[in-house]
Structure 1
Amino acid sequence: MSMEFSVIKRYGNAAINHEQNLCCPVEYDTKYLKIIPEEIIEKDYGCGDPLGKIKEGDTVLDLGSGGGKVPYIVSQIVGETGKVIGVDMNDDMLSLAKKYQREIIDTLGYDNVIFHKGKIQNLKLDLNKVDEYIKENPVASLTGFNSINDYIFHLEESFPMIKDNSIDVVISNCVLNLVSTKEKEQLFNEIYRVLKKGGKAVISDIVSNTEVPQELRDDENLWSACYSGAMEEKKFITAFENAGFYGITIDKRMETWTTIKDIDFRSMTVTAYKGKDGACLDKGQSVIYKGPFKHIEDDDDHIYQRGERTYVCEKAFNILKKEPYSQLFDFIEGDEHHISNDDECCASTCNC
């Protein structure tokens, strides 16, 4: 049995009968739970709360949306002007999420939630459309198999399930660890692809204090229980960096949830931002780091001394004015006496 099949089977059963040992218990603001049926609430399996940075009007993508509890909470946070997209590959979970959708819409007075069948490591491919195509075009030969592959390519290129640069906030709660190790890099790249410039990913997931050995990775029960597919903490952070994110912040690092063969597993919630791309132009702008440390260094090797004026390029200046940096600095607009004649960069030491 493949790990993916074991995950589908276990969570399919958990959509029908509550399983207590899946991930960790999570509590949300009870005011958002009033409209959500008890069946959905009791069959929610998570390990953290990635909802704190969502605001009214946002378009939010929930990776591994399960029975729909989190999307229906988020629908109330973003309001009528916002939108919530849930993606899950499990038919039973999707059926549970849709079971009460009309009832919830009638209670809220608006419809802003949609669910897609798909893999979170490939947000271009709508698996419902693939299912429909296969039903209409059963595979009976190599020609039929090639036809399906051509159709999949056509869907991904011309009709992506989630478009590039279309999402304000990507959230996920204890799901990334279920994706195979070889596909995790693609998963982080997909999160980056779908986010708008200035958008953010807020991810709660199980991590480990050291690398999980292959012996545990081969254990289907531990994998589907969210443990053996967990990333080591530092590699989890590095995966965001490698995908192009900046402002990567550990919002919450829980106490050890369980220990298996001397490996500690815990929940960690991380926020990361998209939008560092672009030219580095000198506009004579500068910042003053306010403390509390004597100096700090950013991801692009800029060093900011406490209380000293530091010239930065326009791109870095605009990034620092936004979360999560803005409270750390004072900002000084253009100084015409400092502007370089070089339109490309503010200084030879600027690596951004």
Structure 2
Amino acid sequence: MKLEATTVIHAPHLHVESRGSAFVVIDPAGPNWGATDRRGAELLTSLNGGTPFSTLVERYRAAYDLDPVKAYHHVATLVGDGLRHGLLATAPIVAKPYAGRAAHLGEARLEEVWLHTNNSCNLACTHCLVSSGPDGDLGLPTDRWLAVIAQARGLGVRRFYLTGGEPLLRPDAVELARAILADPEAELVILTNGIPLTGHRVAALAELDSARLRLQVSIDGASAASHDAVRGKGGFDRALAGIGNALDGGLAVTLTTVVTAVNADEVAAVTRLAGTLGVRHHHLLWMHRRGRALAGSAPPVAKVIEVVRAAVAAGQEAGVTIDNVEAVKSRLNVPAGVRRDLSNACITSLCVSWDGRCFPSASTAGEADLCLGSVLATPLAELWRDSPVAHRFRAATVEAKGQCIGCSFKYLCGGGDVEHSYFWGGDLLADDPYCELHQALIRDALFARVAERKRLHTNGRSGFDAPLLFTAMGEGSIHCASAEPIPAVALSHSECVVSFDLDAPRAKVRAFYGSAAEVPQADLCCPVQPDPAAIDHIPQEVIDRFYGCGSPIGAAQIQPGETTLDLGSGAGIDVFTAARQVGAEGKAIGVDMTDAMLAVARGYQGQVAAKLGFDVVDFRKGFLEEVPVAERSVDLVTSNCVINLSPDKKRVFSEIWRVLKDHGRLVFSDIVAVEAVAPAQRQDPRLWGECISGALTEDELLAFLERAGFYGIELLSRTFWREVEGYRFFSVTVRAYKFEKRQGCVFTGQEATYVGPYKGVSDEEGHFFPRGAVVAVCTDTAAKLCHPPYVGQFVVTDPDGETVSTPCCTPSGGCC
């Protein structure tokens, strides 16, 4: 929106967390949060009541002794970010009333079921919640379990867990797994101690769809001595052998470790062991107070926090992810305004125990007070919907949890784990003994997210130094693989939760454009068509698969000998067009993630080379967020209606900046929205593929470029594209340049004079150049002004007062 001097800016009451130079401002009631620097935090928290924009600018100018133009740019940048992310508003912010989650659970469906298939086990672990052992219950017969699976599937359940006891001791374990995965949308996790993973059993499991099957293997020590002290003699070596068998069979494995007072100092070593074994995920469990664990001792919470951080550090070295940490990161990044309220136990998740009784979760199996009834007497649907225990869980809410009153993390954390509250305090809303751990994990996750996203914004080498929001709650969380509607309330998962998968939306796009590669689809994008004279050397089969929305190649002014890079090159039309223009001494690279499109492009590469008399084309498979091109190696990056397909556009622009040479340029066409795209549209895979769902607003697009370090950003064209459900979309072509600062601002006496035609102009760094006025500039600014797009608009003089010829600096950065 346009910010006037009189525009009044409002903020909610904000809580601030800081670590080093990073600050996170939290709206506890929203909930919402955003990450910034000290300047941004001070500005945001100064908004007591409504504050006119002009007052903010003057206050900021005085605080940091800046000239008015630069102060305006800085404040406008931060306020714009705050408005886009909902942390600020132009009207008073009033928190929505919330009486608890029960009112929002009417549409909840059962999503997962834990099948506690047997309480018999080949081990008798000292911390077992359900006191399993060799003499434990063998569980229901096969036909009963198959009936439970069928009932669960009828309720829409798509994720199943087999646990025990040791589920793989059952002769029918593979049969049950096969029955679950017969549904092509189902997923299965098998929790095991690893010992039964022998050759024949692994071979049988490997015949199933390994992409939808994961093994979670318990390892409670990094050596036989420590592991076997908990799980029994010989268990460690046999478990490692089983893990090796599973990995050799192509099965996915996660290690699980219960953090106890005995093994706390060894947990990080287990993480390193996972890396050595080739396992990439490690999940940690906190001790309950039930079963044999009653006789054990849980470490102090401060020690558990230390253990988790040590495991994370070990994982970073070993290439192993600590699933608990990734789960917290995922929970923090739900859309702003979504309140987290306790766990999914008894709401979207149930457990059926070895004797047919139903419980809220696996950790509550066998607890008589929490039994919903038996599936042997009552259908699963009735137990889930109508039992008193189910109603008791639905009525519970973080709003009524005394421990959470006044906590700024209440709706981010959700009140912790109801199972721990129950077993440690005797009530679902009792204090969670691991509250401090939850808070520490949230803080660590927030600042890890800040560090990751900050690198994509102000890389410190472009000169752009305004305070901004590096990231905010919900950024990138809504995309074409987010199939479910945005909930008002989120529920925490009591077990291993997979973090956001960047490849999920990629897979949707690959499938969409894979089909478009096989059969041309004339209705995809394409509000413009390329110049026939520029493509007369390209086969018609390639032209028929042109799905662009602009003409970036035509606007790029490609020079002979340049190296060009086209992102999302598809069938190759823009790469082949660039190849003619760069000539035999240049290079034209295309990057695409879709095998079918790459096959088309490579298939016609020889014909294009024959017509041109040379071949300078190179097609590479890769992602926009991880471009397979060396840094500072490209003169021009183009893209045609592709960047909006990415779920992480900030990372895309960061990658483009990385690969460009100094004074290199980005010229791309894409679709933008007049106003922010509705969440329902963002979740539509077809609209995503048609360049609609992933569209930024024009304001966002230009802001993302500026924050990635680009300068000289220019909107070259804007053409109406289409209207979808009341939202208007335009095709735009944009050009932007890169210059990398290497020595900071160095003044040698150079000066610049803006010659017009405007009364005055300012750049991305906040420099203001009045027409005809002599302004002292550093060597970096002088280098920019002597190159496109500024060349010809400024007279730059050296320290002797002589006019510098343009360009005055070489592309490699040497100054005149």
Please tell me the TM-score bracket, short chain as reference: 0.7 to 0.9
1:258 — aligned with what?
722
Structural mapping, 1:1-352, within 5 Å: 2-51=504-553, 52-53=555-556, 54-123=558-627, 161-180=628-647, 183-254=648-719, 256-278=720-742, 279-335=744-800
- Residue deviations 1:136-189 (CA, integer Å, cap 9, x gap): xxxxxxxxxxxxxxxxxxxxxxxxx31111111110000001111xx2211111
Q: Which residue of 2 aligns with 1:139?
A: none
SS at match of 2:787: coil
Cα distance in structure 1, aligned partners of 2:510 and 2:746? 49
Alignment partner, residue 378 of structure 2: none
The residue identity in structure 1 corresponding to 2:741 is D
Q: Distance in 1 between matches of 2:707 and 2:768?
A: 21
Return the alpha-carbon distance in structure 2 between the equivalents of residues 244 and 12 of structure 1: 33
Q: Tell me, what secondary structure is at the counterpart of 1:226?
A: coil
**CA offset digits 1:39-69 (Å, max 9, x no partner):** 1111110001111222111101100000011
TM-score for both structures, normalised by structure 2: 0.36
Q: 1-side partners of 2:786 and 2:547: how far apart?
A: 36
Asked whether the 8 Å contact 2:663–2:787 carries over to 1, the reply is: no
Amino acid in the other structure paired with 2:794: F
Q: Deviations over 1:292-351 (max 9, x none)?
A: 222222212211111121111121112111111122112222148xxxxxxxxxxxxxxx
8 Å CA contact 1:283, 1:335 repeated in 2: no
What is the CA distance between 1:207 and its match in structure 2?
0.7
Displacement after TM superposition at 1:5 (Å): 2.4
Structure 2 distance, partners of 1:321, 1:198, is 10
1:88–1:116: 8 Å Cα contact kept in structure 2? yes
Alignment partner of 1:300: what SS?
A: coil
Task: Check whether the contact 2:567–2:592 (CA below 8 A) recurs between aligned residues.
Answer: yes
* Aligned mates of 2:543, 2:752 — CA distance in 1: 47
Give the 3-state SS of the residue equivalent to 1:164 in structure 2: coil
SS at match of 2:552: coil
Report the TM-score, using the length of structure 1 for normalisation. Answer: 0.81
Residue type matched to 2:630 in 1? K
1: CA distance, partners of 2:527 / 2:762: 37
Q: Distance in 1 between matches of 2:535 and 2:667?
A: 21
- Kept in 2: contact 1:246–1:276 (CA 8 A): no
Check whether the contact 2:565–2:638 (CA below 8 A) recurs between aligned residues: yes
Letter in 2 for 1:298: D
Q: Secondary structure at the match of 2:543?
A: helix
Give yes or no for contact 2:609–2:615 (8 Å, CA) kept in 1: yes
1:116-145, Cα deviation, whole Å (9 max, x unpaired): 11111111xxxxxxxxxxxxxxxxxxxxxx
Q: Greater CA deviation, 57-66 or 311-320?
A: 311-320
Q: CA deviation at 1:262?
A: 2.3
Shift of 1:106: 1.8
Conserved? CA contact 1:286–1:309, under 8 Å: yes
The one-letter amino acid of 2:551's match is: D
CA distance in 2, matches of 1:232, 1:4: 21
Residue identity opposite 1:297 in structure 2: S
Per the TM alignment, residue 232 of structure 1 is displaced from its structure 2 partner at its CA by 0.9
Looking at structure 2, the residues matched to 307 and 116 of structure 1 have their Cα atoms a distance apart, in angstroms, of: 49
Which position in structure 2 is the counterpart of 1:141? none
Which structure has the larger Rg over C-alpha atoms? 2
1:29 deviation in Å? 2.8
Paired with 2:636 and 2:753, the residues of 1 have a C-alpha distance of 30
Residues 711 and 736 in structure 2, CA contact (< 8 A), matched pair in contact too: yes
**Take 2:735 and 2:685, find their aligned partners in 1: how far apart are those partners?**
29
Measured after TM superposition, the shift of residue 261 of structure 1 is 2.5
| Paired letter, 1:265 | F
For the Cα contact (< 8 Å) 1:3–1:223, is it kept in 2? no
Does the 8 Å CA contact 1:210/1:263 hold for their aligned counterparts? yes
Q: CA deviation at 1:13?
A: 1.3
Separation in 1, partners of 2:771, 2:534: 43
Give yes or no for contact 1:177–1:230 (8 Å, CA) kept in 2. yes
SS in 2 for 1:257: strand
**How many angstroms does 1:4 deviate by?**
2.4
- Percentage of pairs with the same residue: 40
Q: What SS does the corresponding residue of 1:326 show, helix, strand or coil?
A: coil
Contact 1:25/1:45 (<8 A) preserved: no
Conserved 8 A contact 2:525-2:549: yes
| Whole-angstrom distance in 1 between the partners of 2:677 and 2:668 | 20
CA contact (8 A) 2:663 2:784 kept: no
Q: CA RMSD in A?
A: 1.4
Cα offsets for 1:221-276 (capped at 9, x unmatched): 1111110101111110111111111111111112x211122221111111111114
SS in 2 for 1:251: strand
Q: Structure 2: which amino acid aligns with 1:165? A: R
Q: Which amino acid aligns with 1:8?
A: R
**What is the distance in 1 between the residues matched to 2:674 and 2:792?**
31
1:100 alignment partner, SS class: helix
Q: Secondary structure at the match of 2:521?
A: coil
Q: Which amino acid is 1:211 matched to?
A: A
For these two proteins, the number of residue pairs brought into alignment is 296
1:6: Cα distance to partner?
Answer: 2.4
Contact 2:527 2:721 in 1 (8 A): no
| Aligned residues of 1:172 and 1:204 also touching (Cα < 8 A) | yes
Contact 1:3 1:224 in 2 (8 A): no
For residue 764 of structure 2, what is the amino acid of its counterpart? D
> Does the aligned pair in 2 maintain the 1:245–1:276 contact within 8 Å?
no
**Secondary structure of 1:75's match?**
helix
Higher RCO (CA-CA < 8 Å; seq separation 6+): 1
